């Protein structure tokens, strides 16, 4: 079997990671367990650059030092690991802007059968649970693109409206967003995602590897959908409440050792509390996002260079704190 490499134009900038994966899988000389595979969205994507069309900088495009190109957190994590272990690791970063959990999982499926003997770490930067891939077209569908604020900004249509119309997903998106008021729907979506997460955790640990998941953005993007007949996204508090009944949490409560795999997931205050990267910056006032730059006003909420270091540090601290437990 050989690891597949896409020849689709939209995958062009991502094939390099798959080429490296194939090379590592086929390396007859070196079979050491020293590969780190990373998954996530734009917060993880090694090719992430600020989308100028979305920023509100009044001085034109952001300068290169603010628009991306810095080391992403999986790479920084690798540096820390190499420094400690005094040996070489390889990072395969499959993060992709705009993608959801399904895309990460699919990338995992692509590489696991070929590389499992070499994978030491699976690092997962959790993203929005409500993004999915079109059934037959290479397009990430983001339900948040139809939230009220997006519709206001785009003359009543929403981001990516033309593409979404062409591929028949507008009604589907609006229907899902409307259903978010129903606790069963939110629980259902969470359950499906967390089930796959548990599956990967089990595969990784059964294989003698490490697994770390950190929800970098909230599982439901927030905002309201009144303009398309819905109400609001489930709040943070509601999500925590719903989580209590899910098999994922019930299992964790029965086996607290598994908390070692979930960064910043603590079980206390009569429930589960997740601290996302964004709320961390909110609470501590740290300046870790691109929009924190005052010289070049913009509204890009992605982590900047310091934000990436902060994420890597949180992963690392969690890992070393739980390593020997």
Given a contact cutoff of 8 angstroms between Cβ atoms, the answer to whether 118 and 22 are in contact is no
User: Does 255 engage in binding with other proteins (CB under 8 A)?
Assistant: yes
> Between 69 and 221, whose beta carbon lies closer to other proteins?
221
Instruction: State which of positions 132-161 bind other proteins (CB under 8 A).
Output: 132, 135-138
Asked if residues 146 and 158 have their Cβ atoms less than 8 Å apart, the reply is yes
Interface with other proteins (CB under 8 A), residue total 45
Residue with smaller CB distance to other proteins, 63 or 247: 247
DSSP 191-230: HHHHHHHHHHHHHHHHTT-EEEEEE-S-SS---B-GGGT-
Question: Is 14 among the residues that bind other proteins (CB under 8 A)?
Answer: no
Q: Which stretch binds other proteins (CB under 8 A): 46-54, 64-72, 251-259, 300-308?
A: 251-259
Beta strand segments in 94-206, E: 119-126, 131-133, 140-142
Task: Please say which residue, 175 or 244, places its beta carbon nearer to other proteins.
Answer: 175
Residues 172-191 that bind other proteins (CB under 8 A): 172-176, 179-180, 185, 188-189, 191
Fill in the DSSP letter of residue 7.
Answer: -
Please, what is the minimum distance in Å from the beta carbon of residue 82 to other proteins?
A: 29
Q: How far is the CB of 124 from other proteins (least distance, A)?
A: 16
Sequence-ordered list of residues with C-beta below 8 angstroms from that of 149, at least 6 positions apart, any chain: 223
CB proximity list for 73: less than 8 A, separation 6 or greater: 38, 43, 44, 125, 303, 308, 309, 311, 312, 315
Binding site for other proteins (CB under 8 A): 1-2, 4, 106, 109-110, 112-113, 116, 130, 132, 135-138, 166-176, 179-180, 185, 188-189, 191-192, 195-196, 198-199, 202-203, 206, 247, 251, 254-255, 258
């Amino acid at each position: 079997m050989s690891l597949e490499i896409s020849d689709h134009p939209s995958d062009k900038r991502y094939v390099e990671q798959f080429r490296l994966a194939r090379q590592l899988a086929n390396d007859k000389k070196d079979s050491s367990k020293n590969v780190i595979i990373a998954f996530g969205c734009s917060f993880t994507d090694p090719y992430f650059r600020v989308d100028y069309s979305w920023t509100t900088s009044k001085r034109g495009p952001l300068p290169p030092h603010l628009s991306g190109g810095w080391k992403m957190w999986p790479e920084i994590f690798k540096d820390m690991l190499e420094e400690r272990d005094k040996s070489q690791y390889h990072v395969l970063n499959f993060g992709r802007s705009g993608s959801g959990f399904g895309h990460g999982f699919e990338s995992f499926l692509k590489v696991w059968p070929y590389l499992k003997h070499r994978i030491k770490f699976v690092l997962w930067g959790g993203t929005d649970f409500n993004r999915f891939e079109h059934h037959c077209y290479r397009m990430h569908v983001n339900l948040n693109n139809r939230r009220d604020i997006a519709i206001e900004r785009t003359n009543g249509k929403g981001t990516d409206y033309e593409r979404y119309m062409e591929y028949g997903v507008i009604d589907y998106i609006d229907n899902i967003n409307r259903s978010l008021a129903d606790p069963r729907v939110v629980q259902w979506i969470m359950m499906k995602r967390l089930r796959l997460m548990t599956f990967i955790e089990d595969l990784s640990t059964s294989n003698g590897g490490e697994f770390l998941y950190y929800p970098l953005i909230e599982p439901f993007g927030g905002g309201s959908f009144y303009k398309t007949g819905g109400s609001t996204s489930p709040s943070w508090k509601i999500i925590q409440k719903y989580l209590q009944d899910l098999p994922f949490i019930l299992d964790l409560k029965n086996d607290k050792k598994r908390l070692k795999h979930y960064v910043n997931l603590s079980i206390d205050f009569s429930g589960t509390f997740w601290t996302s990267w964004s709320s961390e910056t909110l609470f501590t006032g740290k300046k870790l996002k691109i929009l924190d730059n005052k010289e070049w006003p913009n509204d890009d909420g992605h982590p900047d260079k310091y934000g990436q270091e902060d994420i890597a540090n949180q992963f690392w601290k969690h890992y070393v704190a739980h390593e020997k437990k």
